[in-house]
Amino acid sequence: MVYISKIFKLSYDMIRLKSAVSSYLFILLILSSFTVKADTVVELEKRIQQLEALVEKLMSNTANEASLGKEKHESDDKANTSSLNDLTLEVEEQQYLIEELSKKDENQMQVSGYADVEYKGSDSPGASEEFRMHHLSLFFTKKFDNKFKFFSEIEYEDAPKFDGVNDGSGDLEEAAGTIFVEAVNFDWNYSQAFNIRAGRFFSPAGIWSEDHYPPFVATQERPMHIFRIFPQFVDGVSGYGRQYLSDSISVDYNVFLGNGESSVSGKKDLNSNKATGFRGRIQLPIWDEFSFGFTFYNDNEDSANGNADKFAHGYHLEARYHNFSLQGEYAFANLTFSDDSLDYDREGFYAQVKYHLNDWDIGYRYDFYDANSIGVNTIKRNSVFVNFHVNEAMTLKGEYHKNQYQDSLVDDVGFYTFSISTYLGN
């Protein structure tokens, strides 16, 4: 009798389970006809795991009962097996539905971003400490299929506020901060070796130009020459890809054509000359990661620098051995004008070493920048930093920088920043 009651209980449990699964499938079908959210897929996965665990438990119970050697009614056995098969089929069906939902989910527009807040101070006489609501950036991305994707970034810098005057004039009473479309581009991914990107994108020059996002770089303060020798971004088109020369040696390239630097580059070029650039990089099987490369950039009429004929070149190296990582960049620009006496060079480099220990990074960077070879403009900077990664998305940073000026009239100055930055994506 005890055994029969157990069987009935088991069957009753399975009927309840089936009922729950059926209800769930019904809800699932309704959900699938609406917009699919990532949460839905996650929930489905959890549900599948629960169902799998239940199926295993039921099978285990059945096996245990059988091993006890008690008599069973043949009809109960058949009912049990049939119910288990039904449940297994339903689990498989749900897996199929998950895949279908995942496909839909992949093609949804994704929203992510990052944010950072700083507390800054300086040992310069009279300088006050401040909180800075530095960045809130939102990324909108969409993958149309395996070949086409869209990427954009809108940055809100220094908590922008724009307030109009209520007198019909259209004038602004208050305007502070920056709203900036930093990236908006389309990618056509043909193969690993050949892809095309069109729109606005960060200049593929060296390392920091692309790899500069606060949650993922060691310091809030970027090396001084970054964005000053090669432009911050390109409005144009680029072709890029990677080719393997052997199992572990690869070269990658990025060739680009754009409007060049100017205040209105997003709408029109200020001149008929296009800026061109090329970055090449080779990756070698040395240490855990090792790559070095070069960048060339040419703009025959650089609107951002007095319509100079600008030619720049740079070299970079990036390496990691276990917890040690090293990166450095050098860049040089030659700017020539119709009046030769105005010609000058611009030069900068940095070398950074970082040690990662558990959730901590500590490191040092030496930085050099000469904005204009005419005159005494050289700045040398020594920086030390420590980062604590609260988790994979959030980082607390402390950094101290000491600037030394070539100009004897300018006093050396030290400044520090404490910050919290977080990545807002999944």
Partner 1 sequence: MRKSQLIMIVMFLFLFSRNVMSETVYVVVNEKNTDIISPELVKLIYLDKSSVWSDGTNILVFELPVKSDARVKFCQEVLNMSPVSSQRYWSNRFVNNTIQNEVKIKPHRLVTRFVSAKESAIGYVPESEIHNMKGVRIVMTIN
Q: Which stretch binds partner 1 (CB under 8 A): 45-53, 65-73, 123-131, 335-343?
A: 45-53
Name the nearest CA neighbour of 319 among 278, 281, 357, 347: 281
The DSSP code sequence of 381-419 is EEEEEEEEESSSSEEEEEEEEEEEESSTTS--EEEEEEE
- By the rule CB under 8 A, 385 interacts with partner 1: no
192 interacts with partner 1 by CB under 8 A: yes
What's phi and psi for 376, nearest 5 deg? -105, 95
CA distances from 417 to 381, 391, 420, 423 (A): 15, 20, 10, 19
**Residue 142 makes contact with partner 1 by CB under 8 A:** no
- Residues between 49 and 108 that touch partner 1 (CB under 8 A): 49, 52, 95, 99, 106
Kindly tell me which of 12 and 321 has the beta carbon lying closer to partner 1.
Answer: 321
**Calpha distance 185→149 (Å, rounded):** 9
Site mask for partner 1 (CB under 8 A), range 329-348, x = bound = --------------------
Of the pair 141, 382, the CB lying nearest partner 1 is at 141
Per CB under 8 A, does 392 bind partner 1? yes
Pick the binder of partner 1 from 389, 396, 400, 405 (CB under 8 A): 389
Dist. CA 177–CA 159, nearest whole Å: 6
In order, the DSSP letters of 125-149 are: TT---EEEEEEEEEEEEEE-SSSEE
DSSP for 258-278 reads E--S-TTTTT--SSSPPEEEE
Q: Which of 47, 132, 142, 212 binds partner 1 (CB under 8 A)?
A: 212
Extract the tokens encoding 226: 């970054």
Minimum CB distance to partner 1 smaller for 48 or for 54: 48
Q: Compute the least distance from the CB of residue 247 to partner 1, in Å.
A: 6
Tabulate helix, strand, coil % of the chain (nearest 5): 25, 45, 30
Binding partner 1 by CB under 8 A: which of 28, 115, 151, 233? 151
Q: Which amino acid is at 294?
A: F
Give the per-residue contact string, 152-171, with partner 1 (x = CB under 8 A; - = no): -x------------------
Catalog residues that contact partner 1 under the rule CB under 8 A.
45, 48-49, 52, 95, 99, 106, 112, 114, 139, 146, 151, 153, 183, 185, 191-192, 201-202, 210-213, 215-216, 242, 244, 247-248, 250, 283, 285, 288-289, 320, 322, 356-359, 389, 391-393, 423, 425
